[in-house]
Chain A
């Protein structure tokens, strides 16, 4: 029953990407690059199901 900390690391990476894209999104909005804003927002939204997937896989296999 060895725990895997790989999902934890992956989730932390996802959260880091969230932070990066959020800041990018806000900055691009104020620079009036609205297409980039939408791209960053979509990536941010997609990262949530990705995080959920990582969580489910990580919980069921090794815990």
Chain B
């Protein structure tokens, strides 16, 4: 053992005698901290797209634009009454309900169950789908009874110069 080290070159037939791999894969404190910093970096990078998407939603870039469309004159629609129209396409039937002097709500009135038309029941104060007696809350479009489970898509309305206009559709949540 001792005499080997004095000979140059070593009298050995393997050439890996000076390679010490014993600690090569040891995770020391410094390496562990490096891993943690790297993980923090991954978290930081991966949260960027979420921020971008949220900013896009906030600025309204993702909303579809439809030309505003006149629904009816204010004078033609007494409080508590409803009128049918279509928006945004000619086959997307919708309903406008005047709840009070200045409160109008509009929904696409295809029932979210099987697309029957939903009607406004003035005396009961709720929207009813006659096919399977689905009921919807008139203030939010949320289903309150019957088979439908999803809310009616809301249409944004605006009152201008004595007429009610449809200006946009709230994004449909499946």
Contact = CB atoms under 8 A, between A and B. Distances in A.
B39 A41 contact: no
Contacts of B58: 34-35, 38
A56 to B, nearest CB: 9
Interface stretch (B1-9, B25-33, B114-122, B127-135): B25-33
Q: Tell me what chain A mostly uses at the interface: helix, strand, loop, or mixed.
A: helix
Interface stretch (B40-48, B72-80, B87-95, B148-156): B40-48
Interface of B: 29-30, 32-34, 36-37, 39-41, 43-44, 46-48, 50-51, 53-55, 57-58
24 contacts: A8-B29, A8-B36, A11-B36, A15-B36, A15-B43, A18-B40, A22-B47, A26-B50, A34-B57, A38-B55, A40-B47, A40-B50, A44-B47, A45-B44, A45-B51, A47-B40, A48-B40, A48-B41, A48-B44, A50-B40, A52-B37, A55-B33, A55-B36, A63-B29
